[in-house]
């Protein structure tokens, strides 16, 4: 549970609480040439940006948190290493306002513009800039992308491709550089992101009524979908843990109750000889909790030794995290104490004469 909450609270690299996304797929029959696809995306972004309630809009080949889509190797010009030894990047194709729309910080330089069509610009993430030019400014430098030299015009913040993994190196290229028929349309709303869903549909329809628009989601929904596996793991572990806790509580209660019942004569004799009820209560409670404490100590030792089994399911939480282990021990101890209290109180309230007559 701690791991899942850390995943959901971790910095994803973008600020998009008011952003709505949708998938737009252009039919091949009507858009055969790459230039036709690029023109469609250009008109669509301009049309959506002019809709009421829309602050900015853009297209991108893949949204954040949806995995690694296009992986390539890059280097500085003249790097003699083989391709498999060069740094790898995730490639995204975006329009000019993508970073502003998604709330991805621009660290240096500038975003794309329509005037960049006559040459080959690129924008890199901070991680990629530090990998290729550690300690230096990346803006204005050349980058070799699959044999093609591009000039870096900007550096942006790192963005995660999966919610439970650190950010990876990103290379952003303009959308007209590789026009695809399926793109993600994103728009930032002035208020509730779902309030511009109609405007998004209207913009697509005005550009081409035959182009479908699907998977309309807020970025919060994208985050929740990307963390679905972690959420399932947490819920499954929680169900098993709660079941184990209930079974342990019932077992402790049953064993303690049985032990107290078997010692009814002893309790009667102690009280007949003048033992106060409080002393009897404390005695039963201490003796009942002794095996619980021993079991917790043994369980903690096993958890420390076998914790690596869970390491792949955890995010920013060590399987030997002292705070987590201590918290679990406290919870189990309190549950066991609650299961011991009722039988101990019953023993302390027993009538000495009735206890002495008990066989």
- Average pLDDT for runs of 10 along the chain of length 359: 83 92 91 90 94 94 90 90 88 95 95 90 96 94 89 96 90 92 94 94 93 93 88 88 84 77 73 77 81 86 79 76 82 81 74 63
Residue 92, C-beta contacts closer than 8 angstroms, at least 6 positions apart? 60, 61, 62, 69, 70, 170, 171, 172, 173
pLDDT at 358: 55
For every residue of 246-300, DSSP letters joined together read HHHHHHHHHHHHHHHHHTHHHHHHHHHTT--HHHHHHHHHHHHHHHHHHHHHHHH
The predicted structure's pLDDT at residue 59: 96
HEC sequence for 290-336: HHHHHHHHHHHHHHHHHHHHHHHHCCCCCCCCHHHHHHHHHHHHHHH
Nearest Cα to Cα of residue 21 among 222, 226, 206, 173: 222
Give the rounded distance of the alpha carbon of 337 from its chain centre: 36
Answer whether 338's CB lies under 8 Å from 254's CB: no
Identify the helix (H) or strand (E) that includes residue 74.
strand 71-75
CA–CA distance, 65 with 33 (Å, rounded to integer)? 30
Which three-class secondary structure state does DSSP give residue 104?
Answer: coil
Q: How far is CA 348 from the centre of its chain?
A: 51
Q: How far is CA 58 from the centre of its chain?
A: 25
Closest CA to 11 of 228, 219, 158: 158
Question: Does the reported pTM lie above 0.85?
Answer: no
Name the packing angle between helices 322-348 and 228-262 (round to 10°). 30
Phi, psi of 90 (to 5 degrees): -95, 130
320-to-1, 9, 165, 237, 311 alpha-carbon distances in Å? 15, 21, 20, 17, 9
Supply the pLDDT for residue 202: 94
CA–CA dist 47, 300 (Å, integer): 61
3-state secondary structure of 52: coil
Q: Let me know how long the chain is.
A: 359
Is residue 10 a contact partner of residue 237, using CB atoms and an 8 Å limit? no
**CB-based contact 33:78 (threshold 8 Å):** no
Residues whose CB is less than 8 angstroms from the CB of residue 56 and which lie 6 or more positions away in sequence, other chains included? 49, 97, 100, 101, 187, 188
**What is the torsion angle, in degrees rounded to the nearest 10, for the CA atoms of residue 201, residue 208, residue 45 and residue 121?**
140
Cα–Cα distance for residue pair 185/308, rounded to 1 Å? 42
CB atoms within 10 A of CB 42: 18
């Amino acid at each position: 549970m701690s791991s899942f909450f850390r995943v959901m609270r971790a910095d994803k690299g973008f600020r998009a609480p008011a952003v709505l996304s949708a998938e737009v797929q252009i039919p091949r029959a009507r858009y055969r040439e790459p230039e036709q696809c690029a023109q469609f995306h250009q008109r669509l972004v301009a049309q959506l940006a002019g809709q009421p309630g829309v602050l900015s809009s853009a297209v991108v080949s893949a949204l954040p948190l949806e995995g690694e889509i296009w992986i390539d190797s890059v280097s500085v010009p003249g790097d003699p290493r083989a391709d498999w030894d060069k740094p790898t990047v995730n490639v995204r194709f975006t329009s000019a306002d993508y970073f502003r729309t998604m709330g991805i910080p621009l660290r240096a330089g500038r975003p794309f513009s329509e005037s960049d069509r006559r040459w080959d610009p690129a924008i890199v993430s901070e991680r990629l800039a530090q990998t290729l030019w550690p300690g230096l400014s990346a803006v204005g430098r050349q980058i070799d992308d699959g044999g093609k030299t591009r000039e870096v015009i900007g550096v942006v913040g790192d963005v995660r491709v999966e919610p439970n993994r650190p950010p990876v190196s990103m290379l952003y290229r303009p959308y007209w550089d590789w026009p695809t028929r399926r793109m993600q349309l994103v728009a930032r709303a002035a208020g509730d992101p779902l309030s511009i869903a109609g405007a998004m549909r209207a913009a697509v329809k005005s550009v081409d009524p035959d182009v479908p628009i699907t998977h309309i989601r807020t970025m919060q929904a994208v985050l929740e979908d990307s963390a679905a596996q972690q959420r399932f793991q947490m819920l499954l572990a929680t169900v098993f843990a709660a079941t184990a806790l209930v079974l342990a509580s019932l077992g402790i209660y049953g064993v303690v109750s049985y032990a107290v019942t078997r010692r009814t004569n002893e309790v009667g004799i102690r009280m007949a000889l003048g033992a106060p009820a409080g002393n009897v209560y404390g005695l039963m409670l201490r003796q009942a909790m002794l095996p619980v404490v021993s079991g917790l100590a043994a369980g903690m030792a096993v958890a420390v030794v076998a914790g690596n089994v869970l390491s792949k399911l955890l995010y920013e939480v060590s399987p030997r995290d002292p705070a987590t282990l201590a918290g679990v021990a406290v919870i189990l101890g309190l549950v066991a104490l609650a299961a011991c209290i009722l039988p101990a109180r019953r023993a302390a309230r027993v009538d000495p004469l009735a206890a002495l007559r008990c066989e």
